[in-house]
Amino acid sequence: QHEAELAEADAIQQRALAEDQRKLAERRFDQVRSLAHTFMFGFHDAIVDLDGSLPARELLVSTALEYLDALARDVGDDVDLQRDLASGYARVGDIRGGVRTASRGDLASALTCYRAAETIQQKQLESVPNDTALQRDLSSTYLRIGDILKRTGDTSGALEAYEASLAMREALAAGEPNDFQSQRDLAHALSSVGEAHARGGDDTKALQYYRRSLTLRQRLAAEHPNDLELKDDVARILHRIGGRLESRGEYEAAQRRYEDAIAIREQLVDADKDNSSWRRSLVMLHYSGARVLLRMDRPEEALGHLDDSLRVARQRAEDNPDSARAQRDLAGLYEITAGTKGMMGDWEAALEEYLELESMMQALVDEHPEDTLYRLLLAASCEGIAKARAELGDLTGAIEPAREAVTIYEELADADPDNARWRERLPAAMVNLGLRLVKAGRPGEAVEHLQAARKRYQALNAADKLDATGRSGLIETLHELSKLMAKLEDGEAALRYAEQAAELTEQPTPALLRDLAFACHLTGDNKRAIELATQTLQLLEGEEDAEAIELRAVLEADLESYRRR
């Protein structure tokens, strides 16, 4: 009996020891998880908007993820732990290659992290399908995945991911109509789906989603007037709406949207001068404002948007050397500043800016070849170098950079055939190359590239009517082909292309009408040539700018020649 009592006492002691160890393990688990949570959400979120914080953010989140991974291996399917683990993967993805915050620009690594978060969240939802917090987390992961697919050239994949997020967020917002966060999340998903449609070339549908998002954001901002983040949301969607209006050729309307967004962003920066994200967004708005002014042929006003923005972008790039986005923003400003200086006639300064841009973008393309935006900016720098060299008289030196731009756009268009931007930039680059070859005295080669551009534009127009930019590109291509064929003394082809260009525009330019008249003359129809030349001279009556005066002199000489025939 004594032995039995001893055994029972020993068993009680062992159970007590086991219970103490269990409680100690639980405390340690809770402590480690709490520490990881503090690293990931507390410390990280406190510095996310500070310049130069990327290395510290990466250290905090990576350390937290290591702790969470170790805990997950020990305890398995703890619901809260798995939720934190998925959040950890998402945040590491943001730091490595996320496009909505400062990141290292490693898109492939970011996508791997986001897919890991998606897998965990989808598995959890199978067990708790009505968990709204988990649904909200997964919808955010879908947005992140869409961002990466969009940037790596998978437009249709991006739209699919964004639509998955939107479906979840519409359901959440319908179920929680008074929940602030659900409504704000819905507004963000609407704008992302709109962006995917814009990439696909459907500006009408893009604007529908953007305007739904704007209405929702404006309502939330009015309901919470002291919430600066909501004001930022309004500025962000105004910026996107401006971009679509600009794409449609509605430049004045686009400029108004940009100016409205700039006014909001200036207030935000004044309220919080340490917020790097808001300062960056203001810089990019000035970039867009300058771009639309250039489209309206107002370079002096455009330069007013750029001086301070370029200074701020340079400082941000210096303060954030690890941030690919900061370097990309600076590159974009170099591009538009160079274009502005070129329009003002300072082509030497423009060439210097374009060469600086090319150097920056080539380094980023070498480091991140999967990022289509870097390749787009590299192509833009090549086109700019070609333009500047041609304007400075180096006609031969302009050809190779123009050819390199075509090659890059071909690669982009082939990799992502659903992307309207690439589909239209490629024929535009082909036209530019053709014009460089014409000026360099190589018309035979030029015909090949202009014909290729014409076929691409016409195929796009047959499949889906081109937007304003694409339509003007097709008209320009046909006009340049007409002039080139006239130079090569192929009157029939010159007339055919000039007539096609005239049919595509409600009001043909005097230059196009002059070339149409000349093509008629080449084919022997001097009566029509005289009628068109006379009509064009009447259109130019009273015009006193240098271009109009020069064209009038040409037309008067033409008429004299036609009448002699």
Return d(Cα 543, Cα 130) in angstroms, integer. 70
Whether 536 contacts 507, CB under 8 Å: no
Whether 402 contacts 383, CB under 8 Å: yes
Please give the DSSP secondary-structure letter assigned to residue 18.
H
3-state SS record for 187-198: HHHHHHHHHHHH
Q: 190: which residues sit within 8 A by CB, 6+ positions away?
A: 166, 209, 210, 212, 213, 216
Q: What angle do CA 526, 502, 553 make, to 5 degrees?
A: 55
Per-residue confidence in pLDDT tens, the chain, 565 aa:
666 666 666 666 666 555 445 444 455 545 455 555 555 565 555 545 556 666 766 666 666 666 666 666 655 566 777 787 788 788 878 877 778 877 777 888 889 889 988 988 999 898 889 999 999 999 999 999 999 999 888 999 999 999 999 999 999 999 988 899 999 999 999 999 999 999 888 889 999 999 999 999 999 999 999 999 999 999 999 999 999 999 888 999 999 999 999 999 999 999 988 887 888 889 889 989 989 998 898 988 888 888 778 888 888 888 878 777 788 888 888 888 898 899 889 999 999 999 999 998 999 899 888 888 889 999 999 999 999 999 999 999 999 999 999 999 999 988 888 887 788 889 999 999 999 999 999 998 999 999 999 998 888 777 665 566 678 888 999 999 999 999 998 999 999 999 999 998 888 899 999 999 999 999 999 999 999 999 999 988 888 888 888 998 999 998 888 888 6
Q: What pLDDT does residue 85 have?
A: 77
CA dihedral 98, 101, 102, 105 (to 10 degrees): 20
Whether 499 contacts 516, CB under 8 Å: yes
Q: 346: which residues sit within 8 A by CB, 6+ positions away?
A: none
Return d(Cα 352, Cα 83) in angstroms, integer. 51
Side-chain half-sphere exposure of 519, counting CA atoms within 13 A = 28
Please give the DSSP secondary-structure letter assigned to residue 226.
T
Rg (CA), the chain: 30
Q: What pLDDT does residue 310 have?
A: 83
Whether 203 contacts 222, CB under 8 Å: no
Return d(Cα 467, Cα 251) in angstroms, integer. 13
Q: What pLDDT does residue 54 have?
A: 66
Q: What angle do CA 483, 496, 564 make, to 5 degrees?
A: 65
Angle between helices 420-439 and 180-199 (to 10 degrees): 40
CA 440 to chain centre: 34
Which string of b and e fits 541-550 if b means at least 16 CB within 10 Å?
A: eeeeeeeeee
Which of 392, 416, 388, 415 has its CA nearest to residue 402?
388
Q: What pLDDT does residue 305 have?
A: 84
Q: 299: which residues sit within 8 A by CB, 6+ positions away?
A: 293, 340, 343, 344
Return d(Cα 370, Cα 348) in angstroms, integer. 32
Give the predicted TM-score (pTM) of the model.
0.70
Angle between helices 107-127 and 132-151 (to 10 degrees): 150
Return d(Cα 329, Cα 284) in angstroms, integer. 7
Q: Read off the pLDDT of residues 351-410 as tens digits, 9 standing for 90 and up.
A: 999 999 999 899 989 988 888 888 999 999 999 999 999 999 999 999 999 999 999 999
Phi, psi angles (nearest 5°) of residue 235: -60, -40
Q: What pLDDT does residue 20 have?
A: 44
The burial class, CB within 10 Å (0-12 / 13-18 / 19+), for 28 is: exposed
Which string of b and e fits 382-405 if b means at least 16 CB within 10 Å?
A: bbbbbbbbbeeeebebbbebbbbb
Six-digit token string for 244:
């679509």
3-state SS record for 261-282: HHHHHHHHHHHCCCCHHHHHHH
Return d(Cα 512, Cα 11) in angstroms, integer. 101
Which of 442, 340, 313, 332 has its CA nearest to residue 381?
332
Q: What pLDDT does residue 493 have?
A: 94
Return d(Cα 278, Cα 271) in angstroms, integer. 10
